[in-house]
């Protein structure tokens, strides 16, 4: 190939041509909007560290979900804030639990929307950990598994299409798959938060869901930010246990991991553009330092370019309205 001046890269950047050669686009079908429902609210409340994101009362679940669906977002990820917490997180699998009630409303009134439920105990336990805590204060992996089975079945009963275990308990995916199949929910999928790093970028979310641990941190079960081979092992174990999707989380600081996981496995890969990634852009936008919409679209394009099939993002609804 002859080089400059015969070859000019600018030819690709001419209006119209640029669209033809674009390798990666963000489509509305790729996006999942997280929604928070709070059993203690009668009116929506904005989350201070997540501008324009609200916690909604359960009574609004169907209307809120319909807004998202009508905007063109095909899926939601449902999180709950329970009326009370206890050591075992029993409101996580209660028939009248906040997620169960919300999901029932949504699946009845917005049948076309794909409903994914976050499956974890941390918002439901008094200690705020993702599993049961033993006498020494450690999270007891194996003792937690039967509880996760119950949560999965209760969410499927309520109408969840996909359950998304986010607690990083070893063996959880296999147990959940087994429990779902045992109760006739063989068509309910499992989106595993397989590669979830112990990240400071979850800070705003823990305000939203009131789920910060009361002692210690999550480094006993979430991953060390320095590790990639371990990420592949986490993903491999989950595929073998029956995960339908693998998730990498957070997204932007871990694009190399998204790329590696997407290259290695045949199942779809989701990436979670988490609360801290959202809050950074919104805060800078509020200061007039950058444009949140422009940088959000750029971020999502980068996440897709790295290999994600699905992106969970607080920007979903707004972006789809503009796409």
Instruction: For ligand PBG, give the closer residue by CB, 82 or 167.
Output: 167
Binding mask 111-130 for ligand PBG (x = CB under 6 A): -------x-x-x-------x
CA distances from 74 to 64, 110, 294 (A): 13, 11, 22
CA distance 318 to 323: 9
Give the Cα-Cα-Cα angle 302, 31, 196 (nearest 5 degrees): 70
- Asked about 282 being catalytic, the answer comes back as no
Active-site hit among 85, 196, 282, 304: 196
Between 120 and 281, name the residue whose CB sits nearer to ligand PBG.
120
Q: Are 235 and 262 in contact (CB under 8 A)?
A: no
Q: Binder to ligand PBG among 109, 138, 183, 206 (CB under 6 A)?
A: 206
Distance CA 235, CA 246 (A): 7
Residue 102 in the binding site for ligand PBG (CB under 6 A): no
Q: Residue 310 forms beta bridges with which residues?
A: 270
Q: Does 167 bind ligand PBG (CB under 6 A)?
A: yes
- Tokens for 45? 């409340």
Active-site residue, from 85, 249, 282, 304: 249
The residue (of 14 and 205) whose beta carbon lies closer to ligand PBG is 205
- State the pairing for strand pair 45-47/50-57: antiparallel
Task: Name the one residue in this structure whose structure tokens are 């979430």.
Answer: 222
Nearest to ligand PBG of 112, 143 (CB atom): 143
Rule CB under 6 A: choose which of 205, 221, 245, 254 binds ligand PBG: 205
Binding site for ligand PBG (CB under 6 A): 118, 120, 122, 130, 166-167, 202, 205-206, 218, 274-275
Catalytic residues: 196, 249
């Amino acid at each position: 190939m002859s080089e400059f001046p015969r070859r000019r890269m600018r030819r690709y950047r001419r209006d119209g041509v640029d669209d033809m050669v674009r390798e990666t686009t963000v489509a509305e079908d790729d996006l999942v909007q997280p929604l928070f429902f709070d059993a203690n609210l009668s009116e929506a409340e904005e989350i201070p560290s997540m501008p324009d994101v609200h916690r909604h009362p359960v009574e609004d679940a169907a209307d809120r979900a319909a807004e998202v669906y009508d905007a063109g977002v095909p899926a939601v990820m449902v999180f709950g804030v329970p009326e009370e917490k206890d050591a075992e997180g029993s409101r996580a699998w209660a028939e009248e639990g906040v997620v169960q009630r919300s999901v029932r409303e949504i699946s009845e009134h917005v049948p076309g929307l794909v409903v994914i439920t976050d499956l974890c105990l941390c918002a439901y336990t008094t200690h705020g950990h993702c599993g049961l805590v033993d006498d020494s204060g450690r999270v007891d992996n194996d003792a937690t598994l039967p509880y996760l089975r119950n949560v999965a079945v209760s969410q499927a009963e309520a109408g969840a299409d996909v359950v998304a275990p986010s607690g990083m308990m070893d063996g959880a995916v296999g147990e959940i798959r087994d429990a779902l199949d045992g109760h006739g929910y063989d068509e309910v999928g499992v989106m595993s938060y397989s590669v979830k790093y112990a990240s400071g970028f979850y800070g705003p979310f823990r305000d939203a869901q009131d789920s910060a641990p009361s002692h210690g941190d999550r480094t006993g079960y979430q991953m060390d930010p320095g590790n990639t081979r371990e990420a592949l092992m986490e993903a491999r174990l989950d595929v073998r246990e029956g995960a339908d999707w693998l998730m990498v989380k957070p997204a932007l600081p871990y694009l190399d991991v998204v790329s590696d996981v997407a290259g290695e496995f045949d199942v779809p890969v989701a990436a979670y553009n988490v609360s801290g990634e959202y809050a950074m852009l919104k805060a800078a936008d509020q200061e007039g330092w950058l444009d949140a919409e422009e940088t959000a679209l750029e971020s999502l394009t980068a996440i897709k370019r790295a290999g994600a099939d699905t992106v969970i993002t607080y920007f979903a609804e707004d972006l789809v309205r503009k796409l």
